[in-house]
Structure 1
């Protein structure tokens, strides 16, 4: 029987034999990456030394010292990625509960004055309205992707731009930016890269236009991430921090503030990229592939249009954007259009990362660390705005833009709320400027996931990103610093 079983099911028998030994089971487990483990241990050791030094040589309150340790540890782990970004976010919340809230009343922990905040204050970010808003955006985007609405709409719109390369590039960038306003710029880039491949087949291998069409997609996706509060996590984190500080920015106000800059940068990037990657054949004519939308797709479009309209008109109908975000969640899950597996596949790690950023800001405010950090900033308020925006761009070039925003937003908002921070602009201006700058880091293939996706196709060089990314980023930073305050005060009361 044993021989017959092996002959008839050789693969199953081999697998059964392998799994019958515990030592083999141990080999199946992935090993712990030694480099990441070393980085993690190094970060923890450095952080402990910092906290110990502050206790010995500073006059800070106990809670501020503990919070500085949490902040520095989060910065080190986010920069080195010794832990996954979302894992660091969970660690932040756990450390704040243990070291600051001290629910176990352990000696030496909690606030120095004896009063410690309730641990629920550090768990509150899990149910923050911004998290619900982003969840609704993920649901909406997943339905669009599942039913192929994105590709069908993009193909239809692209055909309307004709077949001339200059207008094909413009169409690709506008479509990419539009979808990035409502869904993940990573998913948008992956979708548009797929859509552009039939077009690339019509272009000779060495033609510069191939690079131009591939490069315009991640750049448009990054720029489109400025357009709405749900377009990128830094935007959501900025809105949340402003709400905690008593400032309310509606969905429509954000769109009115960010869209003009977004459109200007798109047009500038289009002209810059096309002039640097012109086709060799001036008579080249490109033809996009046609796609159709079925009944389920039209249902998704209907729900999407209604949701966007409700988001844009929240000041008139009275429903918050977070409440409106539940509408597509109900419309798609109750009808079975999105199954349990679809919901399970949402970008939960992004939501956790945003939660960690919000919790970091809460801890800095409660402990007073944000006010301590403000004392290290330049006394000239005008310099702070420029420094914070440039620091955001620099950080976001090398680490996650969400992580960069999580670290800098609490400091920037706190400074703007001080009397000496008036010259730097309102807290709203600093928060929005930092969030928008986080979307502009495009100078390296590793700067953003859209860049990485485009680079992985093998047609682009790192230098292709650097030249265009630095020029577009520098122009955007100058516009944000010079005109941001005027635009924000025009559309809001801040």
Structure 2
């Protein structure tokens, strides 16, 4: 965006912030809620337009909420140190150690070696590896690691351009889909968990989310493979002659130690309810487990001199993502605390005439298609509190409404700007805008259907019935 355009957008955002100070609040909404609406509109505008960096917009609640009397600084600042942000911080540090010692590349090339020469199996292996990595490291990192490997394979098959396109798109789409499978995989998952905790008092742990996230990822990953391999772009039926370097050498002691920490951390997350029964005097949380793992990486030696993780490596993690999550939580919290969410939910009487399932599909589709041009975290932060309040007003189980919203926020396959993994693979010559648009359009529809189906069917089973706040 050009400077003049961005200044105009920022100016319009300022108008949204100042208007509630001049205009009288509508009946039924508090002065704080009316001002929070101005903040909500300003942040939505800035997030959607990109006039400011996403993380800078995410800092606005800290600057504006106390200034406009919406909420005290101490209350707003607490959202930026929410336990889920600590969980993400620990996950990011573990991912940095994995990346530092090349464990992710070893895993990718090892699994690829088992795929043989079949194009379909190679695509499946590449997608499965990318999705698995995205459970633990952020989607962008997993795509950045696997894209060069996929690019080398695609370059070795110039006579099969469609296979190269399918392989590159498979990496991008699998990175996004894999992130849906774990609580730390992608920020919208954390935004949903934080909202459930703050609004309904329901704590969602790593294992609980996996009961919904993993089936969703597996189904969507399978659908994606079918689309890429059999529909668009498609893969050849004949076996390929592979000609790229797969030599990764013997596993180093540093790789083994990082792998041990990662496996133990995952096991602790999954078995935390059992561990709490065994050692009831210890306060165990997913965030605490992540911090134990992260600190241990700075203590465990990688060799004679280095530790598994040093600060020069750690300081390069995505701090902007942590700020963005904090800003999303702060905005959602302010909308909820000021009563704005309940007021907005009550402004939808026409929605009473829509069947519940149709309404959920409509909201999920809106999030997916708007999200093609905006941050998925921003979409979750903006829509979750409003969807939650609407569910209460419409007497719909909140989980069956807001879980599909959270899952749909991660769907975005059509455009290069929709997700960082899409942008990464779009830079390779194998991928064209037409390739991505055709496959992505089909998968956006599939993603909406899967998100709604899994949210409606699994949400109440896993999280139980939710009482209105």
**TM-score between the two structures when normalised by the length of structure 2:** 0.89
| Inter-CA distance 174–53: structure 2 relative to 1 (3 Å threshold) | same
Aligned to 1:61: 30
Residues 65-117 of structure 1 deviation map (CA, whole Å, 9 limit, x = unaligned): 1101100000011011111001011112221122235xxxxxxxxxxxxxxx5
Alignment of 1:43-82 (within 5 A): 43-49=13-19, 51=20, 54-55=23-24, 60-82=29-51
| Residue of structure 1 aligned with 2:271, choices 313, 317, 336 | 313
CA distance in 1, matches of 2:198, 2:45: 26
CA distance in 1, matches of 2:389, 2:272: 28
Structure with bigger RCO (C-alpha 8 Å, 6+ apart): 2
1:94 counterpart = 2:94: no
| Residue of structure 1 aligned with 2:368, choices 393, 412, 420 | 393
Aligned to 1:36: 6
| Residue of structure 1 aligned with 2:380, choices 405, 417, 420 | 405
What RMSD in Å do the two structures reach over aligned CA positions? 2.0
| Residue of structure 2 aligned with 1:363, choices 329, 334, 342 | 334
| Inter-CA distance 228–54: structure 2 relative to 1 (3 Å threshold) | farther
Residues 242-262 of structure 1 deviation map (CA, whole Å, 9 limit, x = unaligned): 100112222112111121121
Aligned to 2:123: 169
CA distance in 2, matches of 1:287, 1:458: 19
Shift of 1:462: 1.6
| Residue of structure 2 aligned with 1:294, choices 236, 248, 252 | 252
Alignment of 1:9-408 (within 5 A): 33-49=3-19, 51=20, 54-55=23-24, 60-100=29-69, 118-204=72-158, 207-245=161-199, 246-275=201-230, 276-279=232-235, 282-286=238-242, 289-292=246-249, 293-318=251-276, 319-335=284-300, 336-377=307-348, 378-379=351-352, 380=354, 382=356, 383-408=358-383
Shift of 1:334: 2.4
Aligned to 2:304: none
Q: Secondary structure at the match of 1:55?
A: coil
Residues 189-243 of structure 1 deviation map (CA, whole Å, 9 limit, x = unaligned): 0100122233223201662111111111101111112101100001111100110
- Higher mean Cα deviation, 147-156 or 382-391? 382-391
Shift of 1:131: 0.4
- Higher mean Cα deviation, 349-358 or 387-396? 387-396
- Higher mean Cα deviation, 89-98 or 197-206? 197-206
Residues 421-448 of structure 1 deviation map (CA, whole Å, 9 limit, x = unaligned): 32xxx32333321121111111111111
CA distance in 1, matches of 2:463, 2:28: 40
Shift of 1:469: 1.4
Residues 165-203 of structure 1 deviation map (CA, whole Å, 9 limit, x = unaligned): 110000000000111111110111010012223322320
Q: Secondary structure at the match of 2:180?
A: coil
| Residue of structure 1 aligned with 2:422, choices 426, 437, 451 | 451
C-alpha contact 1:159 1:287 (8 A) present in aligned 2: no
Q: Secondary structure at the match of 2:417?
A: coil
- Higher mean Cα deviation, 388-397 or 358-367? 388-397
Residues 370-427 of structure 1 deviation map (CA, whole Å, 9 limit, x = unaligned): 0111023322461442232122112211100111111001111223334x332xxx32
Shift of 1:492: 3.5
Aligned to 1:12: none
Gaps of 5+ in 1: 1-31, 102-116
C-alpha contact 1:247 1:428 (8 A) present in aligned 2: no
The count of aligned residue pairs is: 443
C-alpha contact 1:90 1:356 (8 A) present in aligned 2: yes
C-alpha contact 2:120 2:235 (8 A) present in aligned 1: no
CA distance in 2, matches of 1:403, 1:283: 43
CA distance in 2, matches of 1:287, 1:171: 17
CA distance in 2, matches of 1:312, 1:281: 40
C-alpha contact 1:163 1:287 (8 A) present in aligned 2: no
CA distance in 2, matches of 1:127, 1:483: 30
- Higher mean Cα deviation, 343-352 or 197-206? 197-206
Shift of 1:344: 1.4
Shift of 1:327: 1.8
Aligned to 2:279: none
CA distance in 1, matches of 2:243, 2:462: 41
C-alpha contact 2:182 2:209 (8 A) present in aligned 1: yes
